[in-house]
Amino acid sequence: MISAKDFVLVSISAALGALSSVIAFRFISSSPKGPRPRCFSASENASVEGSQARSPFDPSKRKGYLSWDDYFMAIAFLSAKRSKDPNRQVGACLVSQNGIILGIGYNGFPRGCSDDKLPWAKLFVLIFGFSGSYVVHAEVNAILNTNHASAAGQRLYVTMFPCNECAKVIIQSGVSEVIYFIEKRVNNSDAAYTASHKLLSLAGVKVRKHHPQMADITLKFE
């Protein structure tokens, strides 16, 4: 037979067990129903953080966009990528005062002249005594590619400072401003470029060096 003491202990244990069951049931029933929290991957977390970085109700404009000067100079550099000249690739972009692109160009052979039948090497030209190269410069191509629009009073963005021959075409076409990125030489000792500076100055064509606001602009098609 169970003693009175054992009976009391069993009764207390049963009561505690019942009380624990009631507490557990109340806790489970009071928990909110719905799907369990989802664990995000690293890429998903980055996406979530990116979406939270800017409120959709923020009325301000996006930061980090291209300035007009960087935009047009970048187009000139992109045009230079079309050049097949192994020595130097130059690009130019003619822009109206209203910011409309009128023409683009790069240095290459004239239309109808095969890229494979004329020499590109400067040494070959010097050996055979030719007076000049066969290449049409980027500035001239940009002005000629204006689709009948006038270059008068417009701006010309060019990756390299124009030579004297290009300066003559720039002046005669009426271009009012030249924005260049680099000089051909640091000390600008080349007579053709010294003449170019003088011609543009005498003709009243404004000349300024481009100072990019962005260090680099990357294009990726993937």
> Active-site residues: which are they?
139
Contact 186, 157 (CB under 8 A): no
Please report, for residues 53, 66, 106, 143, the alpha-carbon distance to residue 137 in angstroms, rounded to integers and kept in the order given.
Answer: 46, 27, 7, 10
Euclidean distance between CA atoms 139 and 145, whole angstroms: 10
Euclidean distance between CA atoms 179 and 81, whole angstroms: 19
Q: What are phi and psi of 19, to 5 degrees?
A: -65, -40
Contact 156, 139 (CB under 8 A): yes
